[in-house]
Amino acid sequence: MELNPVINLRGLTIHVKEECQERRMLQLKKFPRLKIAVSDCLKGVECRYNGGHAQDDFVKNQLSEYADFVPFCPEAAVIGTPRETIRLVDVKGQVRVLGSKSNTDYTDGLQAYAEERVALIQQRDVDGAVVKSRSPSCGLERIKVYRESGEWFGSSDPMRQGLFTAHLQKTLPYLAVEEEGRLQDAWLRESFVMQVFSAARWREFMGSDPSVADFQAFHRDHKYLLLSKDEALYRQMGPIAAQATTANLHESLLRYSELFHQAIAEKGRRGQMINVLQHIYGYFKKQATAEEKAFFHESLEEFRQGVIPLIAVIKILQNLIHHYGSEYLQTQVFFHPYPAELALRSDTSAYR
């Protein structure tokens, strides 16, 4: 008779653990609302030099379902719409922004706007930015720098970022930033979306007044996502979470945050992904049937060769989890890093 309270207590403990597990799984499947800074013209705003827009389907019709936008348009704010086109010009060794017809120097006004707007973007704690390609103010890469004569001689003359985007990345070096044109590439799009949703999860986590236990659970649940990005950084992050205490929690979170943002900024690599898939499969290699083992290894090789997409292999692993069970794997963010309807893991070219 004296054993009954102990049995009841143990039963209650198990029940509480199961409830906590279910609650955590439900929370992991809820995706945070993104905060994305975006060039206004990509949303369909008529603010380009010719009075038109450059509406982008991914930004306007897909990303907008999951994100609140923080808009910017340096040229419209400083020069107006419509306006003359501008270009980067090397003036006595200094890059300036000049009107292509009037030769008016707009650099100082654009720089002042960049400093003010980027400060707002930083204040809003955004998760990423989508900028307009080929823009002297917003372009991410390969923007021509002309000579004062108006000439540009290919490889003998420099190319750089637009003025606004250069300031944005200097201020927020680990922010996910992409051009709308580059986001047509399945590899770059998957990496960008993975990064912004991961950044948003960390932002919401930091805003939840986390405890040491919450911190360690966050790290545990992100194990395979982080391993798929950068194993060396993941190995540095583990001790920070493991050694966190109430006394050093704030400092530990700050140190972890920097490494976390570095890790999620890495592009997805096929080799690293295969390593993670093999690690996860290792949980079942003693339980799986010969047929299940053969099917997994065959599918993994097809993913390696680019014959099938990542999602096909992940579904095999999820089936093993469902069949054999694993509380640890059930809460891994790796399996649900962003909304499934984006279908980013269904493209064979999403990993290189």
Average pLDDT over the chain reads 92
Which neighbouring-strand residues pair with 98? 87, 105
**pLDDT at 185 exceeding the cut of 70:** yes
**Arithmetic mean of pLDDT, 44-69:** 96
**Arithmetic mean of pLDDT, 140-162:** 87
| Model pTM score | 0.89
Q: What's 105's DSSP letter? A: B
* 8 Å CB contact between 256 and 241: yes
pLDDT of 150: 83
71, 82, 182, 190, 297 from 130: Cα distances, Å? 10, 22, 10, 14, 38
pLDDT of 2: 36
Count other Cβ atoms within 10 Å, centred on residue 104: 14
Q: How confident is the model at residue 149 (pLDDT cuts 50, 70, 90)?
A: confident
Which neighbouring-strand residues pair with 177? 129
pLDDT of 7: 30
Q: How confident is the model at residue 29 (pLDDT cuts 50, 70, 90)?
A: low
pLDDT of 156: 72
Residues whose CB falls within 8 Å of the CB of residue 348, separated by 6 or more in sequence, listed in order: 306, 307, 308, 309
Q: What is the pLDDT of residues 294-351, one digit of tens each?
A: 999 999 999 999 999 999 999 999 999 999 999 999 999 999 999 999 999 999 999 9
Which residue bears the tokens 């606004």? 164
**Arithmetic mean of pLDDT, 80-106:** 96
**Which among 266, 281, 274 has a CA at the least distance from the CA of 326?**
281
Apex 154 CA angle, 148 and 160, nearest 5: 70
Lowest mean pLDDT among 45-59, 107-121, 154-168: 154-168
Residues whose CB falls within 8 Å of the CB of residue 342, separated by 6 or more in sequence, listed in order: 62, 193
Q: How confident is the model at residue 154 (pLDDT cuts 50, 70, 90)?
A: confident
**pLDDT at 1 exceeding the cut of 80:** no
Apex 21 CA angle, 19 and 25, nearest 5: 115
- Distance in angstroms (rounded) separating the CA atoms of residues 275 and 224: 10
Token pair listed for 30: 């809820």
